[in-house]
Amino acid sequence: MNRKAILGVLLALGVPLGCYWILKYNSDNAVNMPRKYLLDTVVTRVEKGKEITDSIWHKTANISLVNQLGDTVSLYDKQGKIIVIDFFFTSCRSICPRMTQNMLTLQQSFKKGGNVRNKIDTSIVQFISFTVDPERDTAQVLKNYADRFGVNHDNWWMLTGDKKKIYDFAFEQLKVDKFSEEPISPDFVHTSRFVVLDKDYRVRGYYNGLDSADIKKLARDIGLLMLEKDKKKKSGIFQKIIDLSWLWLIVALSVSFFMIYLNQRRKING
């Protein structure tokens, strides 16, 4: 086999493999991913004689409450979605209406195009608003409030129920007071924070729900979190490339025809 033929073989084999390694490198070296919050513990283990330290980040506990449609729902009902959370009450005349409007803007930013124009894609994000005044904010009151703003109920829950359960969730699971810019009373969860959970229910961000710049950052971070992969899971890209038997057939035929072409050229020139 002459030099040109060898070069052709290497090129034919190198293109798909090169694409794989480029994709893998860019995936493994993603920058500016939203940081993780609420570290539970650090575990040290030895693997192949090398000491490895693993950070165990807090996974938000499940909670079940009643939404604005009167259905009992749970946080863990929503698998594989990014979750955006806030706390409000319907009789609030200060920050709550603005926060609801900003959350609505986020929800509407996921509208689809094409034949389903103006229909919201509900498969990416779940919005959850917890009332901090559940005695007054019944399911019907929450529905009236949601309808007044034009909320899509498919991926936005407004939740009511046991007050202690809601407050324990806010302070013990989400730690809204720990990363708040304003003081929060343990007796009344009145905060402008939007809290974002990733697909594994870990806190990945606290945002000012009244700040347009922070809202834009939140929207950007949702996109990044959707693309984030679990590093403990092996990439399936390489296996998919191997499984593309039709592609490898094309590569093999291309190499064969290239070698035949070179041989014909050599005979003609010879």
Q: What are phi and psi of 208, to 5 degrees?
A: -80, 110
- Prediction pTM value: 0.74
Q: How many Å apart are CA 237 and CA 244, to the nearest integer?
A: 11
Residues 42-66 have pLDDT tens digits of: 999 888 888 888 999 999 999 999 9
What is the model's pLDDT at position 229? 74
Task: Detail the DSSP E strand segments found in 151-212.
Answer: 156-159, 193-197, 203-208
The Cβ of residue 30 has, within 10 Å, a number of other Cβ atoms equal to 11
Residues 79-98 have pLDDT tens digits of: 999 999 999 999 999 999 99
Number of H helices, E strands in the chain: 7, 9
Q: Is the dihedral of CA 98, 104, 107, 113 positive or negative?
A: negative
CA atoms within 13 A on the CB side of 94: 4
In CATH terms, the fold of domain 58-227 is Glutaredoxin (3.40.30)
Q: How many Å apart are CA 7 and CA 198, to the nearest integer?
A: 46
Contact (Cβ atoms closer than 8 angstroms) between residue 250 and residue 138: no
**DSSP H helical ranges for 150-236:** 163-168, 212-227
H or E, element range at 83? strand 82-88
Please indicate whether residue 180 or residue 163 has the higher confidence score (pLDDT).
Answer: 163
Q: Which has the minimum average pLDDT: 99-103, 181-185, 243-247?
A: 243-247
Q: Where are the domains of the chain?
A: 58-227
In one-letter notation, the amino acid at residue 206 is: Y
